[in-house]
């Protein structure tokens, strides 16, 4: 399905196409976290850092984005520059058709990255945090398309859970409804992005990449249509202090209400508040966890390719 570069609706880089046909592990990397989750110019260093983390484990990185109306799996250095320029639109799955048809550029969310990775034949991908059910979703109806996409796209997503700015319990319920397996990596607790424990358990725990690969392979062989989540907590040394985290969350939520911020502006506003109020600690945590997830995804991809 991967085809050669330039073939089909998705352009797969020569290196990624060669890895796929040669049975080498490939890890898709999401671009919204680069374009919108991390500030420039550090995001460009992060883009290289993530690709290096994947290579160091013997896998090939495939960062995903839409450039000049072409969905691309595997980007050149120049293309990564464009993704990190800060000018790209955020594309979820529903935006892919318009972006391609109108020949636009965009960074892909978890949902859109999963859709394009699948078209390219890449099964494992790494990111920071999943989108989920927002607090107050009962009134706002704000539930990320990531959850619906995971229920119908067979891709294993390695992440650090979801941010505590979301309704974590409701997010886990929607993943259950979508029949999306959730595996904790060396943890019994679903991670809360900046914090190692969101206060909610995971249904399954694995302690080795080979176990994650085995669970994923069996899930696929049983014909399950859904993706899966492999959730790894932020490294202990980079976890945000609990009191600081809780204070920033309460303040941030109050700020949203005060300024009437809703919809897709909620997450960027809260993240900006965390970054400003933590003296850089939230950014360090973010970088550390994404790197660790890229590395783990590569180890799972290599174990699965054997
Ligand atoms: N959560 C994070 N960092 C992120 C995102 C989510 O901790 O960068 C991004 C991901 O790209 C995710 C998207 O797929 O936000 C979800 O956006 P929305 O809630 O608008 O669906
Ligand atoms: Mn939303």
Alpha-carbon distance of 74 to 164, in angstroms, equals 31
Pocket test for ligand 1, best of 35, 106, 109 (most atoms within 8 A of CB): 109
Name the β-bridge partners of 157.
125, 229
Q: Which residue's alpha carbon is nearest to atom 7 within ligand 1?
A: 129
Ligand 2 center to 13 CA (angstroms): 31
pTM of the model: 0.95
Q: Are 31 and 113 in contact (CB under 8 A)?
A: yes
User: Of ligand 1's atoms, which has the minimum distance to the CA of residue 264?
Assistant: 20
DSSP label of 274: H
Which backbone phi and psi does 204 adopt, to 5 degrees? -135, 145
CA atoms within 13 A on the CB side of 50: 34
Pick the atom of ligand 1 nearest to 30's CA.
11
What pLDDT, in 10s, does the model give residues 190-227? 999 999 999 999 999 999 999 999 999 999 999 999 99
Tokens of 195: 């914090």
**Look-up of token digits 């390219």:** 120
* pLDDT given for residue 3 in this prediction: 41
CA angle at 75 for the pair 74 and 79, rounded to the nearest 5°: 160
- SS3 breakdown of the chain: % helix, strand, coil, rounded to 5? 50, 20, 30
pLDDT band at 46 (very low <50, low <70, confident <90, very high): very high
Please tell me the predicted confidence (pLDDT) of residue 268. Answer: 80
Distance 144 CA to ligand 2 centre (A): 5
Closest CA relative to residue 88, chosen from 45, 131, 38: 38
Which DSSP symbol is given to 241? P
Indicate the top mutation candidate among 83, 131, 163, 193 to test ligand 1's pocket, ranked by most ligand atoms within 8 A of CB: 131
| Mean pLDDT to the nearest integer, 143-147 | 96
CA gap 46, 142 in Å, rounded: 29
Strand partners, 107: 65, 90
User: Which residue, 187, 192, 145, is CA-closest to 167?
Assistant: 192
Q: Angle at the Cα of 219 (from 299 to 199), degrees rounded to 5?
A: 70
Q: How far is residue 13's CA from residue 280's CA, in Å, rounded to a whole number? A: 35
pLDDT at position 2? 40
258 is catalytic: no
Pocket residues for ligand 1 (CB within 6 Å)?
30, 32-33, 37, 92, 109-111, 128-129, 131, 144-146, 163, 193, 264
- State mean pLDDT over 11-33: 97
Whether ipTM > 0.85 holds is: yes
Q: Report d(CA 116, CA 108) in Å as an integer.
A: 9
Pairing of strands 60-67, 70-73: antiparallel
Phi-psi region of 127 (alpha: psi -120 to 50; beta: other; left: phi over 0): beta
The whole-number pLDDT of residue 7 equals: 60
- Walk me through the domains of the chain, giving residue ranges and CATH numbers: 11-305 (3.40.1790.10)
> What are the pLDDT digits (tens) for 148-187?
999 999 999 999 999 988 999 999 999 999 999 999 999 9
**Does the pLDDT at position 304 exceed 50?**
yes
**How many angstroms is it from 48 CA to the middle of ligand 1?**
20
């Amino acid at each position: 399905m991967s085809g050669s570069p330039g073939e089909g609706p998705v352009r797969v880089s020569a290196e990624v196409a060669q890895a796929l046909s040669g049975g080498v592990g490939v890890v898709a990397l999401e671009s919204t976290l680069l374009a919108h989750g991390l500030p420039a110019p550090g995001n460009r260093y992060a883009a290289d850092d993530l690709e290096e983390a994947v290579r160091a484990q013997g896998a090939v990185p495939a960062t995903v984005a839409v450039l000049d109306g072409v969905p691309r799996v595997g980007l050149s250095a120049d293309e990564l520059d464009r993704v990190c320029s800060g000018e790209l639109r955020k594309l979820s799955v529903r935006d892919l058709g318009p972006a391609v048809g109108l020949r636009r550029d965009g960074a892909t969310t978890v949902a859109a990255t999963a859709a394009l990775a699948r078209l390219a034949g890449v099964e494992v991908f790494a990111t920071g945090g999943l989108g989920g059910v927002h607090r107050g979703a009962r009134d706002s109806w704000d539930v990320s398309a990531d959850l619906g996409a995971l229920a119908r796209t067979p891709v294993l997503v390695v992440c650090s859970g979801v941010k505590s700015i979301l309704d974590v319990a409701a997010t886990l319920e929607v993943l259950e409804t979508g029949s999306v397996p959730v595996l904790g990596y060396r943890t019994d607790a679903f991670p809360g992005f900046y914090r190692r424990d969101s206060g909610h358990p995971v249904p399954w725990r694995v302690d080795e990449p080979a176990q994650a690969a085995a669970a994923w392979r069996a899930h696929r062989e049983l014909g399950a249509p859904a993706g899966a989540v492999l959730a790894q907590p932020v490294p202990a040394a980079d976890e945000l202090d609990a009191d600081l985290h809780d204070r920033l969350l309460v303040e941030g939520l109050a700020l949203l209400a005060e300024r009437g911020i809703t919809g897709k502006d909620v997450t960027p506003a809260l993240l900006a508040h965390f970054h400003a109020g933590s003296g850089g600690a939230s950014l360090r945590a973010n970088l550390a966890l994404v790197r660790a997830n890229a590395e783990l995804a590569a180890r799972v991809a290599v174990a699965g390719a054997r």
